[in-house]
């Protein structure tokens, strides 16, 4: 910068030159810019760290909720431990309450399946309004199975041995009933009552009941051999099946309900089961059940007989097996029934039919009865 020097305000007698360096200014500006960059970088790092922490705080409970939901689908009911007063905390609290309720419901369900068939329980859970006294008329197939001469057996064995035999057999019966989607109605001492057709109905409930009876008998024969090897006396069972109208519903009081079926058809199934002892057979079915299955089932009719509580004679059939199970069985049965020679009939029955037919131990008695 140049400034003139004036004498007496008019004449220029010299000039003053003033100069300074720009370097300090540039250095100061550069230092300021550096500080600003560092501040921005620091602020960015702090912001990113804060965002990560915020995301972690928010995502962690959500991730745990997702894991909890997955655990519930796998049958576990976890509780998420987290204290928070925001919306996430409210969501976790509601999840824990839901998990608790589901666990209690599952525990109740597992406990009740020890006393009530699972399909009945599912029906009640889906429609709680059905949990009231009363019933409805419907058609069902009733199955009774009973251990013969159980009283005499109980007198020969220790109580623990009797319970051992019954538990083995009942376990097999329950498994078979569930396999064919029937309903275990009740245990009655050494007898079991099962129902097919209510509360869950299928198009082929009669077939399911008979197939269940055949498999029960097969399972029993295996158990019988095991019991004989263990030193227990030989025992037999009887199975009776009837199809007809029943009253199905809840019986008891509002404090204690029991889902069951009642009616003449139920009594008839019990009476038919008792006939097994008279005819030395294993599986007997009523005419009403056979008529629904005669196109697919091989069965031998017994002479009309009377049962307690019925004034008229009834027709029952000995189950041989389903024709779809073995073409050979069908051919041999037809050969036996169409034979006009009694000795030939006996021979065919013994050699071909009896190995497949649940006639019981005294087949000679049955043949004499049949031939007469």
Digit-by-digit pLDDT tens for the chain (372 residues) are 566 766 666 776 777 676 667 777 788 888 888 888 888 888 888 888 888 887 777 777 777 777 888 888 877 878 877 777 777 778 778 888 888 888 877 776 675 665 556 666 666 667 666 555 567 899 999 999 999 888 888 888 898 999 999 999 999 999 999 899 888 888 998 899 999 998 888 899 999 999 999 999 999 999 999 999 998 888 899 999 999 999 988 777 766 767 788 999 999 999 999 999 988 899 999 999 999 999 999 999 999 998 887 888 999 999 999 987 655 455 555 555 554 454 544 554 544 444 445 444 444 445 444 544
CB 170 within 8 A of CB 194: no
* The listed CATH number (3.40.190.10, 3.10.20.30, 3.30.70.1230, 3.30.1330.10) that belongs to domain 133-371: 3.30.70.1230
In angstroms, the CA 363 to CA 200 distance is 37
- Determine the 3-state secondary structure of 32 from DSSP: helix
* CA 232 to chain centroid: 34
CA 218, distance to chain mean position in Å, is: 23
The DSSP letter of residue 234 is: P
Please give the Cα distance from 195 to 186 (Å, whole number).
10
Tell me the CB-side half-sphere exposure of residue 218, using CA atoms within 13 A: 14
Quote the tokens at residue 80.
């998420």
Coil, helix or strand for 160?
Answer: helix
Provide the whole-model pTM: 0.63
Is residue 126 classed as helix, strand or coil in its secondary structure?
A: helix
Contact 208, 182 (CB under 8 A): yes
**Which residue carries 């050494």 as its tokens?**
190
pLDDT for res 81: 77
Domain boundaries, given as residue ranges, for the chain: 23-96, 133-371
Contact assessment for residue 198 and residue 246, using Cβ atoms and an 8 Å cutoff: yes
For residue 121, the model assigns a pLDDT of: 67
Closest among 270, 274, 238, 273 to 359, alpha carbons compared? 238
Q: What is the CA 215 to chain-centroid distance, rounded?
A: 20
Q: Is 260 helix (H, G, I), strand (E, B) or coil?
A: strand
With H, G, I as helix, E, B as strand and everything else as coil, classify residue 131.
coil
Buried b (16+ CB within 10 A) or exposed e, 163-182: eebbeebbebbbebbbebeb
Residues 6+ apart with CB under 8 A from 106: 75, 77
Alpha-carbon distance values, 200 to 49, 52, 141 (Å): 60, 55, 12
322, β-bridge pairs: 297
Q: How far apart are alpha carbons 156 and 359 in whole angstroms?
A: 26
**What is the reported pLDDT for 101?**
84
Q: Which helix (H) or strand (E) holds 337?
A: helix 327-338
Q: Answer whether 112's CB lies under 8 Å from 256's CB.
A: no
pLDDT value for 142: 97
Helices first, then strands: H and E counts in the chain: 11, 10
Question: In terms of Cα–Cα distance, which of 215, 169, 243 is closest to 321?
Answer: 215
pLDDT at 365: 46
Q: What is the pLDDT of residue 224?
A: 92
Cite the beta strand spans of the chain per DSSP E: 2-7, 11-17, 134-147, 183-188, 191-196, 237-252, 257-262, 283-286, 297-301, 316-322
């Amino acid at each position: 910068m140049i400034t003139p020097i004036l004498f007496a305000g008019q004449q220029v007698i010299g000039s003053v030159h003033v100069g300074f360096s720009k370097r300090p200014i540039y250095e100061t500006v550069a230092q300021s810019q550096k500080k600003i960059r560092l501040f921005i970088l620091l602020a960015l790092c702090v912001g990113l760290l804060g965002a990560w922490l915020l995301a972690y705080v928010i995502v962690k409970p959500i991730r745990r909720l997702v894991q909890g939901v997955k655990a519930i689908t796998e049958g576990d009911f976890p509780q998420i431990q987290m204290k928070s007063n925001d919306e996430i905390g409210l969501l976790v609290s509601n999840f824990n309450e839901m998990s608790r309720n589901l666990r209690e419901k599952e525990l109740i369900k597992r406990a009740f399946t020890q006393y009530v068939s699972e399909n009945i329980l599912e029906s009640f859970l889906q429609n709680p309004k059905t949990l009231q006294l009363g019933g409805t008329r419907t058609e069902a197939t009733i199955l009774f199975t009973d251990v013969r001469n159980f009283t005499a057996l109980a007198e020969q064995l220790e109580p623990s041995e009797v319970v051992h035999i019954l538990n083995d057999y009942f376990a097999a019966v329950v498994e078979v009933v569930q396999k064919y989607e029937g309903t275990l109605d009740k245990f009655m001492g050494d007898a079991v009552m099962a129902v097919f057709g209510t509360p869950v109905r299928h198009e082929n409930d009669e077939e399911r009941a008979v197939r269940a009876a055949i498999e029960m008998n097969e399972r029993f024969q295996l158990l019988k051999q095991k019991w004989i090897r263990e030193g227990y006396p030989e025992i037999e069972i009887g199975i009776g099946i009837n199809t007809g109208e029943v009253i199905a519903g809840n019986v008891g009081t509002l404090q204690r309900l029991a889902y069951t079926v009642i009616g003449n058809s139920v009594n008839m199934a019990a009476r038919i089961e008792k006939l097994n002892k008279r005819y030395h057979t294993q599986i007997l079915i009523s005419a009403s059940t056979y008529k629904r299955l005669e196109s697919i089932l091989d069965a031998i009719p017994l002479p009309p007989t009377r049962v307690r509580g019925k004034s008229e004679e009834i027709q029952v059939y000995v189950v041989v097996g389903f024709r779809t199970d073995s073409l050979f069985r069908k051919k041999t049965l037809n050969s036996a029934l169409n034979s006009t020679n009694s000795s030939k009939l006996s021979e065919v029955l013994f050699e071909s039919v009896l190995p497949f037919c649940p006639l019981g131990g005294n087949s000679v008695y049955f043949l004499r009865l049949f031939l007469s």
